Structure 1
Amino acid sequence: MKRVIETDDAPAAVGAYSQATADGSLLFTAGQIPLTADGELLDDEPIDAQTEQALSNLDAVLEEADATSTDILKATVFLDDIEDFEAMNEAYADYFDDEPPARSAVEVAALPKGVGVEIEAVATLE
């Protein structure tokens, strides 16, 4: 049965979506952008700082679902400029320092609120 995950420690959903949903053993997160839970948008920060905030938001959603970053099976990183890949990857590698999940990283035409990165994940709850 589908379960909706919501936490005040990550930015609230601002549309017709949930921060995450779970069904049995799998958790699917919405894309996390560099927006603090207090509403501060970090769109003018370097991509590494934006990546760190997006991952911090992801952490908060995972924690609400009783999961951690080690439970992530697959992550997808959306960049508005693929030239930011190296800087994003360095911040990402610090977050996943051991046994990182499978990952896709793609350049997109634009991201919500003009940010440089958005990250979503699929995690196991077992």
Structure 2
Amino acid sequence: MKKIVYTKNAPAPIGPYSQAVRYGNLVLVSGQVAINPATGQFESGDIKSQTKLVMENLKAILLEEGLSFAEVLKCSIFIKDMNDFPVVNEIYGGYFKSEPPARETVEVARLPKDALVEISLIAGIDA
């Protein structure tokens, strides 16, 4: 059975999608960009500040389902400039203390709100 996941502690969707969807033992979290959940405004800072906010938004959505980054199975990272990869990777890595998930990182021409980074993930719930 499909369940829509929503928390006020992460940005409200800016289009026709959900923050996340729980389906069985999976939670599929939509791509997050650096939108401040308290203001709904895009934070157009540097790659470091954007990545930190994206990871915190993902964390808030996971917490809504009682999960942490330890249950993340797969992440997709989209970055505007592959030269920013070392900074993104360092911040991202700080959220995965052990057994990091599968992942891909792709450079893209443009992201929503002209963001520098967007990250989505899939987490698993033990039955």
How high is the TM-score relative to the length of structure 1?
Answer: 0.95
- After the TM superposition, which residues 1-126 of structure 1 pair with which residues of structure 2 at under 5 Å, given as runs? 1-38=1-38, 39-43=40-44, 45-126=45-126
Residue type at the aligned position of 2:5: I
C-alpha deviation, 1:105, in angstroms: 0.4
How high is the TM-score relative to the length of structure 2?
Answer: 0.95
1:117, 1:14 → 2: CA distance? 16
Query: What stretches of structure 2 of length at least 5 have no aligned partner?
Result: none
**Please, what is the CA RMSD of the aligned residues?**
0.9
2:52, 2:95 → 1: CA distance? 8
Query: What stretches of structure 1 of length at least 5 have no aligned partner?
Result: none
Percent of matched pairs sharing the same residue: 41
Three-state SS of the structure 1 residue aligned to 2:94 is: helix
Contact 1:33-1:115 at 8 Å conserved across structures: yes
Three-state SS of the structure 1 residue aligned to 2:43 is: coil
1:67, 1:95 → 2: CA distance? 13
Q: How many residues align?
A: 125
